[in-house]
Amino acid sequence: METYIDASFATHQDGKSQSACLVLLGNTLVHEACQKQKIITKSSTEAELVALTDYLAKGELVKEFLMDMGSLLEEDLITNVHQVYQDNQPAIMLVKTNGDNMRSKYIKVRREYIKERLGTGEVEIDYKPTGYMLADILTKALGD
């Protein structure tokens, strides 16, 4: 199972960003979501962090569902590790290290949530270059 999570910074008239998530099982799309973020962020890194926290939980629900289905079928449909891909390297560094001083409590809480999930070993976040970020199709405007 692979999850691609992306954000497009400040794309709406009110300054809010757009988040998107694609969950694939092998080559099959099993879940997709795309929505306007509920909060205004001050950078693309913060927008990516918000997208990570919003969609990581949804990806974990899909993982639990697939594990339950595998139990019913008596097959291992997925591994225990939830592989997440992100195309913003500063956002990855922020959640994998102590990062910098967060500008507000809500962003710090989001970062700590992701760090906690990484600490269990059930989730891995890796860099995927923008050209290979499948979730981009849900966050970027179409070319002319």
More confident residue, 18 or 140: 18
- Whether residue 16 contacts residue 51, with contact meaning beta carbons closer than 8 Å, is answered with no
Q: What are phi and psi of 110, to 5 degrees?
A: -65, -45
Q: How high is the mean pLDDT of the chain?
A: 85
What integer is the mean pLDDT of 90-103?
A: 75
| Span 37-75, pLDDT tens digits | 999 998 999 999 999 999 988 888 888 887 787 777 777
Q: Is 72 exposed, middle or buried (0-12, 13-18, 19+ CB in 10 A)?
A: exposed
pLDDT over 70 at 36, yes or no: yes
> Given pLDDT bands bounded at 50, 70 and 90, which one contains residue 22?
very high
- Whether residue 99 contacts residue 89, with contact meaning beta carbons closer than 8 Å, is answered with no
Q: What share of the chain has pLDDT > 90, as a percent?
A: 35
More confident residue, 107 or 22: 22
Q: Could you give all domains of the chain from N- to C-terminal order, each with its CATH number?
A: 2-138 (3.30.420.10)
Please count the other Cβ atoms lying within 10 Å of the Cβ belonging to residue 39.
14
Taking only Cα atoms into account, the Rg of the chain, rounded to an integer number of angstroms, comes to 15
- Whether residue 58 contacts residue 66, with contact meaning beta carbons closer than 8 Å, is answered with no
